[in-house]
Amino acid sequence: MPEATRSIARADERMMACRWGMPSRTRRTVVTLDTLEEAMEQLATLPDTPESRSLRDQADVLKREMLAWSTDAPPSAEEREAMMKRVLVVYTEVDRLARGAG
C-alpha cells in the first residue's frame, strides 16, 4: 500500500474514533459502535412496544459498556469479539422488528 494511502487510512480511522470521543479506539470498536447507533436510530422510528423497549434497553447497556472501555486498559480481543456478537444480535432483532412493522 502506498504511503499516501496509509496516511489517509490512518486519518480516516482517527476521525472515526474521535466521532465517539475515543481517539485511540480500534476501527472494529468504532464500526461496532456505529452499528449499534444505527440500530438505536431505527428503534426510535418503531412503535413503542415491550419488544422495542427491551431492545432499546439492551442497546443502551451495550453502548454504555463500550464507551466505558478504558484506553489505558483496553478490552481483550475476546471481549471485543463478544461485544460485537451482542451488538449484532440486537441489530438483527431490530431489523426483524422493523421489517414486521413496515
In tens, the pLDDT along 10-33 reads: 545 555 555 555 545 677 888 889
Q: What is the pLDDT of residue 40?
A: 95
Whether 17 is covered by a domain: the verdict is no
Whether 8 is covered by a domain: the verdict is no
Whether 11 is covered by a domain: the verdict is no
Whether 20 is covered by a domain: the verdict is no
Q: For the chain, what is the domain count?
A: 1
What is the model's pTM? 0.74
In tens, the pLDDT along 59-97 reads: 999 999 988 887 667 788 899 999 999 999 999 999 999
- Residue span of the structural domain in which 95 resides: 26-101
| Unique residue bearing C-alpha cell 440486537 | 90
Q: What is the pLDDT of residue 8?
A: 47
User: What CATH number is given to the structural domain containing 44?
Assistant: 1.20.1270
